[in-house]
Amino acid sequence: NAGVTQTPKFQVLKTGQSMTLQCAQDMNHNSMYWYRQDPGMGLRLIYYSASEGTTDKGEVPNGYNVSRLNKREFSLRLESAAPSQTSVYFCASTRREKGLYGYTFGSGTRLTVV
């Protein structure tokens, strides 16, 4: 019963470096999401994938790209990291249909850009 698994848990990048945050869920959910969490800002949606094969921008998409690799996996890529992208990143998933009730979150990736 792994739920939503995020890797890595911690990462330090230098400004300008690139990296991909990985997310996988084993609950057969069709929708997946990437959020960032900063102090006092709550959870802000970066990108989401309502179903396999689709991705859409959320509230704060600049500087990020995503790939819905298959139904299980949804990755977030930083092409050229900036200090403003220092944050905690959460992946979430859910069934997106009538009776949808809540998201299941991973435990987060703590990213520091120096």
Partner 1 sequence: GQQLNQSPQSMFIQEGEDVSMNCTSSSIFNTWLWYKQDPGEGPVLLIALYKAGELTSNGRLTAQFGITRKDSFLNISASIPSDVGIYFCAAHKNSGEKYYGGSQGNLIFGKGTKLSVKP
In whole angstroms, how close is the CB of 88 to partner 1 at the nearest point? 9
In whole angstroms, how close is the CB of 36 to partner 1 at the nearest point? 12
Binding site for partner 1 (CB under 8 A): 4, 33, 40-43, 45, 48, 50, 56, 58, 90, 92, 94, 96-108
Instruction: Identify which of residues 14 and 39 has a Cβ nearer to partner 1 in the complex.
Output: 39
Q: Which of 15, 13, 14, 34 is nearest to 23 (CA)?
A: 34
Distance of CA 98 to the CA centre of its chain: 23
Radius of gyration of the chain (CA): 13
Instruction: Identify which of residues 19 and 88 has a Cβ nearer to partner 1 in the complex.
Output: 88
Instruction: Identify which of residues 17 and 103 has a Cβ nearer to partner 1 in the complex.
Output: 103
In whole angstroms, how close is the CB of 60 to partner 1 at the nearest point? 13
Cα distances (Å, whole numbers) of residue 101 to 35, 62, 77, 97, 98:
18, 29, 28, 9, 9
